[in-house]
């Protein structure tokens, strides 16, 4: 199972996490994919409920293009296109040369500490 950890981190903590991941990779040790946001608001802006729903659908229906995805979800094409572009940009979805979409992860773990998120 391929998993990504999405976190809300202060810049100092994000840098430390990056450094540790880099050191592990250089030593040839397994690393977990990570994505960090500076605030809970930024996380919720980037990973909305509609985008989570879209990722789940793509994971179950690999290869759909954006137009077919919008039709299957019963959503406006322009909004789905915007969501797909954002998720591809974040590295959560992949688009092949023919526009077919696939989910890059089977599991997403989202962590946001109360004190750090305040």
Give how far Cα 3 sits from Cα of 41, 69, 76, 93, 116, Å: 23, 23, 29, 13, 23
pTM of the entire predicted model: 0.83
pLDDT higher than threshold 90 for residue 30: no
CATH second-level architecture of 3-117? Orthogonal Bundle (1.10)
Q: What is the pLDDT of residues 76-88, one digit of tens each?
A: 999 999 999 999 9
Residue 95 phi, psi (nearest 5): -120, 125
pLDDT above 90: percentage of residues in the chain: 67
**CA 88 to CA 15: how far, in whole Å?**
23
Confidence of residue 14 (pLDDT cuts 50, 70, 90): confident
């Amino acid at each position: 199972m391929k998993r990504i950890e999405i976190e809300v981190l202060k810049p100092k903590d994000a840098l430390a996490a990056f450094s540790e991941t880099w050191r592990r990779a250089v030593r040839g040790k397994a690393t977990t994919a990570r994505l960090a946001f500076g605030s809970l608001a930024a996380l919720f802006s980037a990973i909305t409920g509609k985008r989570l729903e879209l990722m789940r659908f793509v994971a179950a229906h690999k290869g759909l293009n954006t137009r077919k995805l919008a039709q299957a979800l019963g959503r406006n094409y322009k909004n789905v296109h915007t969501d797909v572009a954002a998720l591809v940009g974040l590295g959560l979805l992949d688009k092949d040369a023919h526009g077919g979409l696939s989910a890059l992860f089977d599991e997403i773990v989202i962590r946001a500490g109360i004190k750090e998120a305040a």
